Amino acid sequence: MTGYRKHYNRSTDTYSSTYKQMGVTCIACHPAAAPDPIDGCTARRDTRTLPPRLASAVCASCHARAETFDDSFCPGDLFEDHYQLELPVAPGVFYANGMQRDEVFCETGFRLSRMGAAGVTCMDCHDPHTGETLLPWEDNSLCLRCHAIQKVINGKKAPYSAGAPEGTCDRQSIGGRCVECHMPESTYMARDPRRDHSLNIPDPQLSLEIGTPNACTMCHRDKNDEWAAHVLARAIPHQLMEQRRPRTRAVHAAMMGQGKSADLLRALQHEDIPAWRATLLEHMSRCPLTPAIQEAAQRAATDADALVRAAAAGIPGPHVVDLLHDPVRSVRHAAAWRMLQSAPQLSSESASLDELRNAAEFRADQPGGTMLLATLAQAAGNTHEAEIQYRRAIELDPSSPVPYMDYALLLARQNRMTDALKQMLTCTKTAPQNAEAQYRLALVLSELGLYPAALTSLERALQADPHHEAAQAAKESLLQFMTNSH
């Protein structure tokens, strides 16, 4: 719907949503168009006359997988003033090479691509009025428009390509279509065929190593990755995709919870695509903090790209305070969130907190929003309100382990151990394979003096994730303690 406003009322748990027009109509992109212009959008800022980056943001406001701060986006606005784009961080959403795994729409993939980073836009391939591509892709003319003549976009030359590398597919077959190799299609919910917009180069060698997909065997279903890797090694001895492998490996390991900060840092040094720099930093924020990570974050805090600065704000350090006043909202949010976690008394930064609270209120009908409200209430010293919000988050999504864990932590901090135990028992019943949940249950059990039960939970944690270092350490010290007290 065009001009949709959610209007969720938290106290009554009801919606009074409104919209301007059904479907994606002219005013979505030309907000001043008669007879029913969009309220609050400036007539002067029309998609037709915007610079390419801002025009693409209009498309992204609908075609992105992102966290939403509000529903007041207007053409001319920066995407990052209203949304936090999802990057290849959580497992199950993207593959480590940026290809779509879950249904992710187009923006993230395209930003991760070399072509997107060079400033090619959605409108270079799509006609916004018909939804059709500007030229047919079936005969490659859509791509050859730039790649046959090495067209220059913002100083970047489109590399010459005439199609399938010699020694692979027949250029007259469907295997000769640029789009089939660089934008393979996956179908979601049985009826949504989606082209991958990360414009990857198919790399069967990496498929063998870490399981990322490649267009070759997505189409040659009767062949395996070994075959495809062998064909390519013969066809192109010096493969371009080799340069990208260290990054993909580092991201893959991090997605699996085994990130190595040295590998991530090395990849970051060589990375010229901002969305990948942001991805690497987001993964680093989940590794144990080291001076090298902190230094990288400090440098990234002055990056020209807001995605990168927002990722830098997720890593503790003195730069976070400056980022609280960043001109871009997604960066301010990330900084405020970081501050909340490391220094919960943020009263002197009330402006950033108010803004974060507004975003949380906007999403209060979702578990993520209620969790944020709970954290904010805790920071304000209002544990009663925090409890209400945690219980609401659990009610909204009883299958997610995180709300139980955070709620139990709040209860444990108040020394309400039996209440905390109750939450953690429900949590581990809902998600028995979650190592962190088993570990946290063990902590509560040992606080209560239930050592053998704690030991069982720690063993379950290590079964679920043999690399869970905290569980390993806790198990060792618990065993020692139990031996000593005998």
**Rounded CA separation 413/404 (Å):** 14
Query: Per CB under 6 A, which of residues 198..217 are in contact with ligand HEC?
Result: 199, 201-202, 215-216
Question: What does each C-alpha distance from 185 to 121, 142, 192, 415 come to in angstroms?
Answer: 20, 17, 10, 53
**Of residues 49 and 345, the one with the C-beta less far from ligand HEC:** 49
Q: How many residues bind ligand HEC (CB under 6 A)?
A: 80
**Of residues 217 and 438, the one with the C-beta less far from ligand HEC:** 217
Q: Could you tell me which stretch among 25-33, 205-213, 433-441, 462-470 binds ligand HEC (CB under 6 A)?
A: 25-33
Q: From residue 303 to residue 332, what is the string marking binding to ligand HEC with x (rule CB under 6 A)? A: ------------------------------
The minimum distance between CB 276 and ligand HEC, in angstroms, equals 10
The minimum distance between CB 353 and ligand HEC, in angstroms, equals 30
Residue 40 region by backbone torsions, left for phi larger than 0, else alpha for psi between -120 and 50, else beta: left
- Do the Cβ atoms of 369 and 347 come closer than 8 Å? no
Query: Per CB under 6 A, which of residues 425..464 are in contact with ligand HEC?
Result: none
**Rounded CA separation 220/204 (Å):** 12
**Of residues 58 and 293, the one with the C-beta less far from ligand HEC:** 58
The minimum distance between CB 220 and ligand HEC, in angstroms, equals 6
**Of residues 55 and 313, the one with the C-beta less far from ligand HEC:** 55
The minimum distance between CB 85 and ligand HEC, in angstroms, equals 11
Identified binder of ligand HEC from the candidate list 8, 47, 420, 455, rule CB under 6 A: 47
Q: From residue 385 to residue 424, what is the string marking binding to ligand HEC with x (rule CB under 6 A)? A: ----------------------------------------
Query: Per CB under 6 A, which of residues 229..268 are in contact with ligand HEC?
Result: 231-232, 236, 239-241
**Of residues 58 and 308, the one with the C-beta less far from ligand HEC:** 58
Q: Is 113 exposed, middle or buried (CB count within 10 Å of its CB: 0-12, 13-18, 19+)?
A: buried
**Of residues 112 and 308, the one with the C-beta less far from ligand HEC:** 112
- Do the Cβ atoms of 435 and 471 come closer than 8 Å? yes
Q: From residue 141 to residue 160, what is the string marking binding to ligand HEC with x (rule CB under 6 A)? A: -xxxxxx---x-x--x-xx-
**Rounded CA separation 186/456 (Å):** 42
Query: Per CB under 6 A, which of residues 163..182 are in contact with ligand HEC?
Result: 163-165, 168-170, 173-182
Query: Per CB under 6 A, which of residues 94..133 are in contact with ligand HEC?
Result: 106-107, 110, 113-115, 118, 120, 122-126, 128-129, 131, 133
197 binds ligand HEC (CB under 6 A): yes
The minimum distance between CB 176 and ligand HEC, in angstroms, equals 5
| CA dihedral over 454, 460, 463, 464, signed as positive or negative | negative
**Of residues 251 and 441, the one with the C-beta less far from ligand HEC:** 251
The minimum distance between CB 23 and ligand HEC, in angstroms, equals 8
**Rounded CA separation 252/212 (Å):** 9
299-307: list long-range contacts, CB under 8 Å, 24+ apart.
Answer: 303/274, 303/277, 304/274, 305/274, 305/275, 305/277, 305/278, 306/78, 306/80, 306/330, 306/331, 307/80, 307/85, 307/87, 307/111, 307/274, 307/275, 307/277, 307/278
The minimum distance between CB 35 and ligand HEC, in angstroms, equals 12
**Rounded CA separation 222/417 (Å):** 57
Interior angle at CA 307, CA 305 and CA 312, nearest 5: 100
| CA dihedral over 403, 409, 413, 414, signed as positive or negative | positive
- Do the Cβ atoms of 143 and 149 come closer than 8 Å? no
**Of residues 124 and 355, the one with the C-beta less far from ligand HEC:** 124
The minimum distance between CB 52 and ligand HEC, in angstroms, equals 10
The minimum distance between CB 62 and ligand HEC, in angstroms, equals 3
The minimum distance between CB 361 and ligand HEC, in angstroms, equals 23
**Rounded CA separation 27/124 (Å):** 21
The minimum distance between CB 87 and ligand HEC, in angstroms, equals 15
Query: Per CB under 6 A, which of residues 347..386 are in contact with ligand HEC?
Result: none
Contacts of 239 (CB under 8 A, 6+ apart): 203, 205, 232, 233
Which residue reads 């609050």 in tokens? 40
The minimum distance between CB 167 and ligand HEC, in angstroms, equals 7
**Of residues 2 and 352, the one with the C-beta less far from ligand HEC:** 2
- Identify the CA nearest to 406 among candidates 431, 372, 455: 372
Q: From residue 48 to residue 87, what is the string marking binding to ligand HEC with x (rule CB under 6 A)? A: x------xx-xx-xxx------------------------
**Rounded CA separation 457/472 (Å):** 11
Question: What does each C-alpha distance from 144 to 136, 180, 239, 369 come to in angstroms?
Answer: 10, 14, 22, 45
